[in-house]
Structures are given as structure tokens and as C-alpha cells.
């Protein structure tokens, strides 16, 4: 089976997921059975809040990128297998820094990892680092 790996030069916001989702949708339209994977992902509480809500609804941490790919592929595979490691990140509240991300990125403040989901062969675990 042919495989395709989508990579980019920038770590985030470079269009990798948008491009991969377009490829998946085109393949599905052509009748190709598509499998997706995002082995390690993370998402931000403030900027991807819809994923926080989805995660609460499903009672399992789900990253935005794999959710988009999963939906585009109309996948019947468990999303926890498609993305076995997901981190929920928190930065300072954007409203309090007047939406100026440079206010905290210039200080080299790292993202704070609030929660990590790791899925193994038998089960998923949520870890608070």
C-alpha cells in the first residue's frame, strides 16, 4: 500500500494539516480507502478551545489536527490509535496580554503541558505532568 508523509519547515501554522486534509478528501472522492495518522500532537487551550470541548464530550483528549484528518477520511478507526500521544498546552491568557503573543514568547516562556494522553496497546491513560 502506498503511503504519504506530509512534513513542513515550520513547526506549526504552516498548512500541513490543511494540505493533508485536502489530499485525504480528494482520495476519498476517488474511492480510495484512506487511513490517517498523527502519532504525536498537541493543542492549545486558548487557540483551539473547540478541541477542549470535543475532548470533554468524548472523555478523551483529542487533538485538532487528527480530528480534522479523521473526519476527512470518514475513518472508522479509533481516533486514539490514529493519534496515540496528545498534549493539552496552556500559555498565558491571551486577553490579559492583549492578544500580543510576543509578550510571552519573547520571554521564552515554554508552553505549560496540562495533560497528556498516551495510548498503548491495551488502554489510554491521561497523565498530569
The pLDDT tens digits along the chain (129 residues) read 678 888 888 777 789 999 999 999 999 999 999 999 999 999 988 889 999 999 999 999 999 999 999 999 999 999 999 999 999 988 776 677 666 666 556 555 556 788 999 999 999 999 987
On whether residue 9 sits in a domain, the answer given is no
Domain limits for position 60: 16-127
On whether residue 8 sits in a domain, the answer given is no
Query: Which pLDDT does position 7 carry in this prediction?
Result: 86
Query: Which pLDDT does position 106 carry in this prediction?
Result: 58
On whether residue 1 sits in a domain, the answer given is no
Q: How many domains does the chain have?
A: 1
Cell numbers linked to 3: 503511503
* Dist. CA 49–CA 113, nearest whole Å: 15
On whether residue 53 sits in a domain, the answer given is yes
What DSSP letter does each residue of 40-104 carry, written as one string? Answer: EEEEETTTTHHHHHHHHHHTS---HHHHHHHHHHT--S-HHHHS-EEEEEE-S-TTTTTT-THHH
On whether residue 96 sits in a domain, the answer given is yes
On whether residue 6 sits in a domain, the answer given is no
Query: Which pLDDT does position 104 carry in this prediction?
Result: 59
pTM: 0.81
Query: Which pLDDT does position 74 carry in this prediction?
Result: 96
Query: Which pLDDT does position 107 carry in this prediction?
Result: 55
Query: Which pLDDT does position 33 carry in this prediction?
Result: 92
Amino acid at each position: 500500500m502506498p503511503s504519504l508523509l506530509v512534513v513542513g519547515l515550520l513547526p506549526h501554522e504552516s498548512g500541513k494539516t490543511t494540505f493533508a486534509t485536502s489530499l485525504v478528501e480528494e482520495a476519498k472522492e476517488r474511492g480510495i480507502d484512506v487511513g490517517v495518522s498523527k502519532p504525536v500532537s498537541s493543542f492549545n487551550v486558548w487557540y483551539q478551545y473547540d478541541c477542549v470541548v470535543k475532548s470533554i464530550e468524548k472523555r478523551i483528549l483529542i487533538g485538532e489536527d487528527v480530528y480534522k484528518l479523521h473526519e476527512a477520511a470518514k475513518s472508522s478507526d479509533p481516533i486514539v490509535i490514529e493519534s496515540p500521544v496528545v498534549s493539552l498546552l496552556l500559555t498565558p491568557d491571551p486577553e490579559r496580554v492583549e492578544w500580543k503573543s510576543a509578550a510571552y514568547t519573547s520571554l521564552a516562556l515554554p508552553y505549560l503541558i496540562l495533560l497528556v494522553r498516551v495510548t498503548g496497546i491495551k488502554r489510554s491513560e491521561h497523565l498530569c505532568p
